[in-house]
Amino acid sequence: MRINRFVSLVVLVSLGVYLGIISPLEAAEGQEQDQPFFKLLPEIKKAVVFLGVLDSSGKPIVNATGFLVRYEEHAYLTTAKHVVYNSETNEFQDEDQVALVNLKSGKVSARAIQELKKRFRIEWIFHEDPAVDLAILPFPINAEQDAVKVVPDRLFLEAASVHELADVFFLSSHPGMIETQPLRPVIRMGGVSLVEGDKTFYIDAASFPGSSGSPVFLKPSPFNFSDRGMTLSTKNIGIECIGIVGEFIHYSEVAVSAQTGRPRVVFEQNTGMSRVWSVEYLQDIFQSKAFKKQHQSLKDKDI
């Protein structure tokens, strides 16, 4: 059966809140390549997951974004590494973390990350280079209740095909708009400002607290960028995922006392630039020993 580029996740999950264990994914057939962009965009948004904690009243406090990707027959939650792990202390910081997903009923479900890790004996997998700000975790879905989609890796665009001046957008949670049901990721648009040689790049679509882990896509355009310049073409009209937001770039300025010569206050400003990690780093994780070992374990247990 052919798997289309954006697929409905059909996974049975049980025990308590869920209905089973992570099981193979099935896809509904479709011709999403022929769909107008304005019809495809709502489907893309369904792959976005909000991450945060619950306050004493059970109200979610969102502090990051993630999205669901597909690898073979399983779904994985992808976000920025610093969202779940403190590299300075070498400690996880997901003890009270929840993943928020929309339900078909219009409500929102909060999935405790620790509960998922213990129940299915799974762990976050990072890139072998500790500096890479990416993390992924197997993520069970209730196909009958959850209103989600997943992004298959065939939608990923290699770093070499990302050029400066290209228009991009990312999907993210937004402060002040996270109390609505269902959850609604916002669209932030910009362009590629700088392509680095390490498969990272900077975009001028300003991010903010809560944007870490957001998926970044090329904005559909009739213009095709290549080493020979920019041409008019219909080749790249579709949507392609190019990376994940890691952090926003801030500028710090220290105010020094004229009397004592000592620092008095530090002013920090968002420069409007965000660092993006290419999806090639995510593909590196898929090929790592740690990932393959856990993925095979899920397959061996038929979960």
Tens digit of pLDDT for each residue in 160-211?
999 898 999 999 988 776 556 788 899 999 999 999 999 999 999 877 778 9
Distance CA 14, CA 22 (A): 8
**Amino acid sitting at position 114:** Q
| pLDDT digit string, tens, across residues 99-145 | 999 999 999 999 999 999 999 999 999 999 999 999 999 998 888 89
* pLDDT, greater one: 108 or 7: 108
List all residues 6 or more positions away from 97 whose beta carbon is below 8 Å from its beta carbon: 51, 52, 53, 84, 112, 113, 114
Distance CA 163, CA 294 (A): 35
Q: Provide φ and ψ at 242, rounded to 5°.
A: -110, -15
Q: Which of 94-98, 139-143, 263-267 has the highest mean pLDDT?
A: 94-98
Residue 248 has pLDDT above 90, yes or no: no
Nearest to 156 by CA among 59, 266, 282, 63: 282
What pLDDT was estimated at residue 207?
74
**Amino acid sitting at position 109:** S
Distance CA 303, CA 297 (A): 8
Distance CA 12, CA 120 (A): 13
> What percent of the chain has a predicted confidence (pLDDT) above 70?
74
**Least confident span in 149-163, 180-194, 210-224:** 210-224
Residue with tokens 């209730």: 142
What pLDDT was estimated at residue 230?
57
CB atoms within 10 A of CB 81: 23
Which CATH code is given to the segment(s) 159-278? 2.40.10
DSSP single-letter state for residue 35: S
Distance CA 177, CA 186 (A): 9
DSSP single-letter state for residue 93: -
Q: How far is CA 138 from CA 27, 122, 278, 298, in A?
A: 18, 7, 20, 9
* Burial readout 96-121 (b: 16 or more C-beta within 10 A, e: otherwise): ebbbbbbbeeeebbbbbbeebbebbe
**Least confident span in 44-53, 67-76, 105-114, 266-275:** 266-275
CB-CB contact of 84 with 93 (8 Å) = yes
What pLDDT was estimated at residue 252?
60
Q: If you write DSSP's letter for every residue of 219-261 in order, what string do you get?
A: PP-SEEEETTEEEE-STT-S--EEEEEEEEEEEEEEEE-TTT-
As a whole number, mean pLDDT of residues 56-61 equals 87
| pLDDT digit string, tens, across residues 225-244 | 666 655 555 554 567 899 99
What pLDDT was estimated at residue 18?
38
What pLDDT was estimated at residue 283?
96
CB-CB contact of 172 with 183 (8 Å) = no
Distance CA 18, CA 197 (A): 44
Q: Where are the domains of the chain?
A: 7-155+280-300, 159-278
Q: Would the CATH topology of 7-155+280-300 be identical to that of 159-278?
A: yes
Residue 73 has pLDDT above 90, yes or no: no
| pLDDT digit string, tens, across residues 285-301 | 999 999 999 999 998 88
Which CATH code is given to the segment(s) 7-155+280-300? 2.40.10.10
Residue 97 has pLDDT above 70, yes or no: yes
